[in-house]
Amino acid sequence: MTRLTALSGARIFDGKSWHDESAIMVGDGRVLDIVARGTVPADAAMERVEDGMLVPGFLDAQVNGGGGVALNDAPTAETMNRIATAHRPFGTCRMLPTLVTAPPEVTAAALAAARGSDPSIVGLHLEGPHLDPARQGVHDGRLMRRLSEADIDRLLAADVGRLLLTIAPEQAEPAQVRRLVDGGVIVSLGHSNATSEQAMAMIDAGATGVTHLFNAMSPLQNRAAGLTGAALDAGSTWCGVIADGIHVAPAVLRIALRAKRPPGRLFLVTDAMPSVGSGATSFTFGGRIVQRQGIQLTTTGDNGEPVLAGAHLDMASAVRFCVDNLEVPLEEALRMAALYPATFLRLDDRHGRIARGYAADIVHLDQTLQVRRTWVGGVSDA
């Protein structure tokens, strides 16, 4: 028999509209309905929250680490679960743990781990190794290489839920992208010096994403649109953005929000590192020491110069940044953290909304947009 629970006491944002004096009916881990508070069945267990708002749970498509661990350093199901646990207090209900450029045996281990991890892990993001060393960032450029048919065979056999693969157009052929997409892999473009023409060839072949827009990619110039320009101009692409004020200047993000051709949208990612949820001020990543100053993470690049090393960012902070610094309406910022990444990952039939039949992934925010409580599949973290 289904145990009914009614969540009430706050305004409810279902992903599109607000509901007042209402309750979310939850059973068997799913949303059954949103009903007027006075019509809650007598046999339902009432869970009241104090003021604020109940909003769709956040979904993060790019999470390198959290809770003191990084997927690259220990590609196991235990690591993935620990990362998910570290991000849950910040409203992230579902995620793609992210493996940056790694040797084949580490990639194989991460793919195997994703098959046996927590339900909050909805797949895996492989950010490399098929990237351009000229735009390596914190990745190990020595491991970067072209995509092969054998690579594609292994990826198509992975069976990890949603598999997101970031590639540079220079390291693959359009026919290879088409083969991946036809097999269910979601292809994103990033870490690339590609021309806009090269990028559009991949987009025409089925690539639907751009990884951390503006970062580690050919820029928009007056006579060369680059990958950045192609991403903004192609209506079929969804672009992840790191909204922390460090990776991309606020003015640039505001321009991008206005410029992005629909129906594709910008969505929030954290690119989070082990420091999130751990309080660490330094850690080792890929053999390099990463230092945290405030929310900025840096390490020393191959040329001896400082380089950004992911982000000390959580999804709730990214939502607040959009509202406070980018002139984004609250409703749109919430969609950027939930509905839009779910749509990009083709999970918007079960995640990203509070609606009948959807997973009961719900976040209680107070009036300052701080997370007070999180439910994943109807189970509270309180």
Place of tokens 């797949």: 123
Q: Residue type at 43?
A: D
Catalytic choice (140, 271, 348, 361): 271
CA 315 to chain centre: 9
The first and second tokens of residue 325, run together, are 């610094």
Pairing of strands 371-376, 22-27: unpaired
Which stretches within 236-379 are classed as H helix? 250-259, 315-325, 330-337, 339-344
The first and second tokens of residue 128, run together, are 């490399």
What distance in Å separates the CA atoms of residue 231 and residue 260, rounded to the nearest whole number?
Answer: 8
What distance in Å separates the CA atoms of residue 106 and residue 272, rounded to the nearest whole number?
Answer: 19
CA distances from 156 to 75, 176, 184, 329 (A): 20, 12, 8, 39
What distance in Å separates the CA atoms of residue 283 and residue 295, rounded to the nearest whole number?
Answer: 14
The first and second tokens of residue 319, run together, are 């939502």
Place of tokens 């083969």: 179
What distance in Å separates the CA atoms of residue 179 and residue 188, rounded to the nearest whole number?
Answer: 14
DSSP notation for 218-231: PPP-SS--HHHHHH
Whether 366 is catalytic:
no
- Containing 297, the helix (H) or strand (E) segment is strand 296-300
DSSP notation for 116-138: TS-TTB-EEEEE-SSS-GGG-TT
CA distances from 165 to 17, 125, 173, 252 (A): 33, 6, 14, 26
The first and second tokens of residue 331, run together, are 């409703």
Which amino acids are annotated catalytic? Answer: 271
